[in-house]
Amino acid sequence: MSDTVLMPQLGETVAEGKILAWFKSVGDEIKEGDNLFEVETDKVTIEIQAVVSGRLNEIRVSAGDVAKVGAIVAVIGGESPAKAAPQPEAEQAAAPKAAPWRNPFEEVSTPKGRYGPAKGPGDIRITPLARRLIAQNNVDIMRLAAEVKQRGGSRIDEQVVRSAMAASPPTLAPAPDAPRYTAPPAPLSGQTITLNAVRLKTADRLAENWRAIPHVFQAIEVDFTAIDRVRGKHKRVFQEAHGFSLTYLPFIARATCLAIQAFPQVNARFDGKFLSLSPTVSLGVAVDLSYNGLVVPVVRNAEDLTVAGLAKAMRRLIDKARSSKLGPDDLSGGTYSISNNGAFGTTFTAPIINAPQVAILSTDAIQLKPAVVSTPEGAFVAPRMIGMVGQSFDHRAFDGAYSAAFLSRLKQLLETRNWEDEFAGNP
Amino acid sequence: MGVAELSYRDAVIRGIAQEMDRDKRVVFLGEDIGKAGGVFKSTVGLYEQFGPLRVRDTPISEQAILGAAMGAAMTGLRPIAEIMFADFLAVCFDYVANEMSKLHYMTNGQLSCPVVIRTGNGGGARFGAQHSQSVENWTMMIPGVKVVAPSSPVDVIGLMAAAVRDPDPVVFHEHKSLYATKGEVPDGVIVDTLGTAKIVRAGGDCTIVALALMVPRALEAAAMLASEHGIDAEVIDVRSLVPLDTQTILGSVSKTGRLFTVEENPRLCGWGAEIASIVADEIFWDLDGPIVRITTPHIPLPAADHLEDLALPSAARIVDKVRRVLKA
Amino acid sequence: MASGSNPAVQSAPLSNDDIGLERRLELFRLQVEIRDCEKRAHDLFFQNLIKGTSHLSIGQEAIAAGFGVAMQKGDKSFCTYRGHAHTLARGASMEGLLGELMLRDVGLMRGKGGSMHLTSVEHDVYGSYAIIGAHLPIACGSAWRAQYLGEKDVSVVFFGDGTTNIGAFHEALNFAAVWKLPVIFVCENNLYMEYTPIGDVTAVKHPAADRAASYGLERILVDGNDADVVYRTAQAAIEKARRGEGPSLIECLTYRHSGHSRADPGKYRPPGELEEWLKRDPVIIYRQRLKDFGVTDDTITGIETESKRKVDAATATANASPPAPVEILTTDVYADGGWAWRN
């Protein structure tokens, strides 16, 4: 009668072992308990004893070789192994009779993806189905929210969305004599340019905003020399630290947030009846997509950010916009917007307000211009960095005097604030 | 092919007889089920038809009834065991929770338990708290057991046949207050399929899922919702809690966007809670409003008729809740 | 068949031997192998190779062996979580048993059931049951099936003294008596219900034998440590059941050498009690019995050596077996092999 010597179980997760050395040779008489071989795994090195006595007839796995747990490594006694211990791999694991049905930990399948937040503009509730329909059909959530608010409703549900999708674009506050939207004239002979998806999406909204909101534009001239000095001082360090250049825009954004503190009505939502002041500033930054349309991603809690912080946040959004990675969260919830047009040297721009916001700031080229500077010695003409800062505002929400006062405050901040302090300690 | 009107209790008799006639291995045991024809008269005639060896009256020994059914099933028979009132499942619950349900798994498939436990479930008969409970959910939550609760005579026969032919333990909840109700039943052998729900009223505004006695009440409510409130409800008879026909339910709620369940069991951990959870997970993005469960309140049931009627969901309560929620 | 309350070693002269040498060797072999395998299980538990819990039958081997030899192929046995002995006594393999205790793929149930649920339908072991008393009505059901189909097998159900106080015991005995079922109820009275002396919690002195009359059954109380006595008692009860004369309730007096389960060192026993019972060790009794019947030392030693060899080989095989593949986590919840509760 012979007995097989197996590679023993060496640990819960160990599947194989390497025989380092044999302590007995073929032909040796083995007594039960004798050390037979030494085996190494990734966890331990141990000596294995014989569990039977007899003559070591065969060594099947030599020193230096690896064998799976349960494999026959030697044979003791007898001519040939009588009954080989079942090899684990030879044992046919009975296949489950019924086909695998589900992953045991996925008995219920959670849908992937999101379709926008549960709360919309002005904290209006949106049902899951409505959110999905809005996202899948590019429905203007702002318009829906305004509609629902207007009729005293409290949430956007399927019916609201489907009505919006089915009907022609509804009006916010229809003026009786307001001309209805008409289709564009038939194309002229010459090249026809098809509007891309982004432009199409915004086209109707822009038209609606322009038509429904009584826009008034005011502008104020700002001396950016002081800012320019600070900007120049920190430009290089900033570029090295963050990988992009420090422009005027973050300074303007910062000043805007500060001015809003004194003039909160410009940072509000208007639904035709109520002006809802926003406690935080969600600052929309208009981003041009290389002549292929405009998106206005939003920096949340802008009032908490420094110039550098604003610069980074806006940069992130611009990059996302340019690589088409903006999500619905990035585009919703804005309370005030800035349209920055300085790159091409324009003097001023009267932008279109993003309803339900009530105002939008515009900035244009900031360049050296002759300006009158007052000194104790008298008034002199000097070259200064001058730029026009303008605001389009919704005249239903507040009057020109309020807007002008806001702009005046903004100018004061831009020209006289200690901007060096923004960079104290960090680039 | 003829059709006859049959009572729910006569359907029970016909279902059992159909299966006992087909397969000699089907035997039937329980208290007063033989000579007396059952306390609800739901087994009248079986003793006469199949004899005392196949239809056996037992002592008052619920554990022995289920244990013996299990032992017989393990070794070759297809027993039907009656537990008179579903509340009494608590007396012999070891066999449902620990023995029958786990046998096949623990023995790695060596032993099976093809037993049907039929039991008188539900309230409405003024029997008081210990004889009126709806306990389908007690059995739903044990892995390894199948659970059905038919609402109509034709379903009684079809699902009884399916249950007897099923190789796993099946708890067959008959509703005591439905025994006297009638329905159309075609002639011939009727065999249904476990794990299938039925849309008993098609509609578009909301989905109402109900079980057993709550099915006719939901249908009555749906009629009122349509005629008086302009709400077109789709009503689903779940019929089988395990296996659960989630596809029919999910398909309906995807269409309507609104789900209501009508459950006779007391609120906590009722069968509808599981369905609500599955819907809120898998088709969250098809929901247009909150899922609402209409249940008996979480109290023992009183004996007094006006109190019991108040406790169980009525058609009026269903109408009121659905209307208020949808119009909100 | 019943001895009094003072069990003593019994022997019969060779010329009157109703049991026969072959069966005697079998009785001895089973007891020795059960003993060696249980002792190995004890050691493996302390080496942490057997996990969870384990209830050993060391000291109670004669009951399992006596009935094991008396039962025929087709007779179905049902035992408790202290079921290793009964599983081996019906012929299940040691590596299947040890493998199951070690929760490996080679185990009788591939590790899905564990020590308390040993089942081998191939060997007519129709389950080991962990809920006290649950299997008594189940055995009645098996017996009912035999009676109904006219099959000739009997069902034998083993349980401890503690079981006699649970509801299902009473229901099953009454049920079996009223329906006159071919089922044999075997109470292994090892004097302790878990950690409590059985006398402290039972209204009668002999928890099974003194209750038989309540069911219209004969009082049968025997020395559970003498395999010959157990065998003869088993034979008689089985034949009676096979003739259609109904159930029997048998109380076998015995003692367990170790604690209730592996976690229990048994310190609640009065001093001297264990030593007294060790003198009546069934294996020692039966070794002497064989010698009384003229069996040679060589033969006896051969059986004992072979037993140790088998246990070692089984240990090696079980130890070498990997845990079962994780796919079986969800197999066989239902008879179709699957676990689908929904579509």
According to the model, what pLDDT value does residue A182 have?
44
Is B109 in the A-facing interface, judged by CB distances under 8 Å? Answer: yes
Distance (Å) from the C-alpha of residue B30 to the closest C-alpha of chain C?
A: 12
A175 pLDDT exceeds 50?
no
Is C322 in the A-facing interface, judged by CB distances under 8 Å? Answer: yes
CB contact under 8 A, C109 and B106: yes
Chain C partners within 8 Å of B170 (Cβ): none
Beta-strand pair A155-156/B26-30:
unpaired
Residues contacting B302, CB < 8 A, separation 6+: B128, B129, B308, B311
Mean pLDDT of A239-256: 92
User: What are the angstrom distances between the C-alpha of C220 and each of A6, C174, C230?
Assistant: 49, 17, 11
| Contact of C174 with C212, CB cutoff 8 Å | no
CB contact under 8 A, A107 and C342: yes
How many separate domains does chain C show? 1
According to the model, what pLDDT value does residue B310 have?
97
Nearest residue, CB atoms, B288 vs list A108, A111, A129:
A129
Nearest residue, CB atoms, A108 vs list B109, B278, B289:
B278
A171 pLDDT exceeds 60?
no
Identify the DSSP state of A98: S
Distance (Å) from the C-alpha of residue B278 to the closest C-alpha of chain A?
A: 6
A76 pLDDT exceeds 90?
no
User: Distance (Å, rounded) from C-alpha A269 to C-alpha C185?
Assistant: 84
Distance (Å) from the C-alpha of residue C112 to the closest C-alpha of chain B?
A: 5
pLDDT band at C1 (very low <50, low <70, confident <90, very high): very low
* Domains of chain B: residue spans and CATH: 3-186 (3.40.50.970), 198-327 (3.40.50.920)
Nearest residue, CB atoms, C141 vs list B53, B68, B168:
B68
Helices C21-46 & C94-101 angle (0-180, nearest 10): 20
Distance (Å) from the C-alpha of residue C50 to the closest C-alpha of chain A?
A: 13
Residue C250 lies in a domain: yes
* Number of Cβ within a 10 Å radius of residue A368: 12
CB contact under 8 A, B59 and C113: no
CB contact under 8 A, A96 and C309: no
Chain B partners within 8 Å of C79 (Cβ): none
Who has greater pLDDT, B122 or A75? Answer: B122
- Name the region of B124 (left: φ>0; alpha: ψ -120 to 50; beta: rest): left
Chain A: list its partners (3+ Cβ pairs within 8 Å): B, C
According to the model, what pLDDT value does residue C11 have?
44
Nearest residue, CB atoms, B288 vs list A110, A111, A157:
A157
Write down the ipTM of this complex: 0.95
Mean pLDDT of C119-144: 98
Who has greater pLDDT, A326 or A15? Answer: A326
Residue C255 lies in a domain: yes
Of 3.30.559.10, 1.10.150.120, 3.40.50.300, 3.60.21.10, which CATH number belongs to A197-202+213-423?
Answer: 3.30.559.10
Q: Which CATH class is domain A3-76?
A: mainly beta
CB contact under 8 A, A108 and B287: no
Distance (Å) from the C-alpha of residue A130 to the closest C-alpha of chain B?
A: 7
Mean pLDDT of A355-383: 92
According to the model, what pLDDT value does residue A380 have?
92
According to the model, what pLDDT value does residue A191 have?
65
A84 pLDDT exceeds 50?
no
Residue C111 lies in a domain: yes
Residue C198 lies in a domain: yes
A92 pLDDT exceeds 50?
no
A27 pLDDT exceeds 80?
yes
C212 pLDDT exceeds 90?
yes
Residue C292: which CATH number?
A: 3.40.50.970
According to the model, what pLDDT value does residue B43 have?
96
Chain B partners within 8 Å of A127 (Cβ): 257, 287-289
Mutate to test the interface with B, among A101, A105, A108, A162 (most CBs of B within 10 A): A108
* Number of Cβ within a 10 Å radius of residue A94: 16
According to the model, what pLDDT value does residue A53 have?
79
pLDDT band at A64 (very low <50, low <70, confident <90, very high): confident
Residue C12 lies in a domain: no
Mutate to test the interface with A, among B168, B277, B288 (most CBs of A within 10 A): B288
Q: What is the pLDDT of residues C48-67, one digit of tens each?
A: 999 888 899 999 999 999 99
CA-nearest residue to B254 within chain A is A129
Find the DSSP H helices in chain B: 8-22, 46-50, 62-74, 93-94, 101-106, 136-140, 153-165, 214-229, 246-256, 271-282, 305-311, 315-327
According to the model, what pLDDT value does residue A211 have?
86
Tokens of A141: 């959530």
According to the model, what pLDDT value does residue B154 have?
98
Across B198-228, b (16+ Cβ under 10 Å) vs e yields: bebbebebbbbbbbbbbbbbbbbbbebbeee
According to the model, what pLDDT value does residue B258 have?
97
| 3-state secondary structure (DSSP) of residue C142 | helix
Is A104 in the C-facing interface, judged by CB distances under 8 Å? Answer: yes
Distance (Å) from the C-alpha of residue C158 to the closest C-alpha of chain B?
A: 15
Chain C partners within 8 Å of B107 (Cβ): 109, 112-113, 117, 119, 121, 127
Domain ranges of chain A: 3-76, 121-166, 197-202+213-423
Q: What is the pLDDT of residues C270-309, one digit of tens each?
A: 888 888 888 899 999 999 999 999 999 999 999 999 999 9
Chain C: list its partners (3+ Cβ pairs within 8 Å): A, B
Is B278 in the A-facing interface, judged by CB distances under 8 Å? Answer: yes
Mean pLDDT of C173-188: 98
Tokens of C317: 């095989």
**Residue stretches of chain B with pLDDT short of 70:** 1
Which of the residues of A are catalytic?
A: 395, 399
Is A101 in the C-facing interface, judged by CB distances under 8 Å? Answer: yes
A1 pLDDT exceeds 80?
no
Amino acid at C11: S
Distance (Å) from the C-alpha of residue A27 to the closest C-alpha of chain B?
A: 44
pLDDT band at A2 (very low <50, low <70, confident <90, very high): low
Residue C330 lies in a domain: no
Chain B partners within 8 Å of C340 (Cβ): 243
Which of the residues of B are catalytic?
A: 131
Chain B partners within 8 Å of A106 (Cβ): none
A303 pLDDT exceeds 80?
yes
Total beta-carbon pairs less than 8 A apart between chain A and chain B: 36
Is A51 in the C-facing interface, judged by CB distances under 8 Å? Answer: yes
* Helix%, strand%, coil% for chain B, nearest 5: 40, 20, 35
User: What are the angstrom distances between the C-alpha of A85 and each of A3, A7, A72, C196?
Assistant: 9, 11, 8, 44
A94 pLDDT exceeds 50?
no
Task: Pick from A16-30, A43-57, A85-99, C165-179 the range whose average pLDDT is largest.
Answer: C165-179
Is A277 in the C-facing interface, judged by CB distances under 8 Å? Answer: no
User: Distance (Å, rounded) from C-alpha A83 to C-alpha A70?
Assistant: 14
Domain extent at residue C141: 19-322
Mean pLDDT of C222-230: 97
Residue C328 lies in a domain: no
| 3-state secondary structure (DSSP) of residue B289 | coil
Task: Pick from A15-24, B67-76, C10-19 the range whose average pLDDT is largest.
Answer: B67-76
A183 pLDDT exceeds 60?
no
According to the model, what pLDDT value does residue C259 have?
72
Among the listed ranges A190-199, A316-325, A327-336, C128-137, which one has the minimum average pLDDT value? A190-199
Chain B: list its partners (3+ Cβ pairs within 8 Å): A, C
Percent with pLDDT over 70 in chain A: 81
Q: Of B319, B297, B318, B316, which is closest to residue B308 (Cα–Cα)?
A: B297
CA B72 to chain centre: 24
Residue C297 lies in a domain: yes
Mean pLDDT of C310-322: 97
Find the DSSP H helices in chain C: 21-46, 61-70, 84-89, 94-101, 135-149, 167-179, 227-242, 273-279, 282-292, 297-320
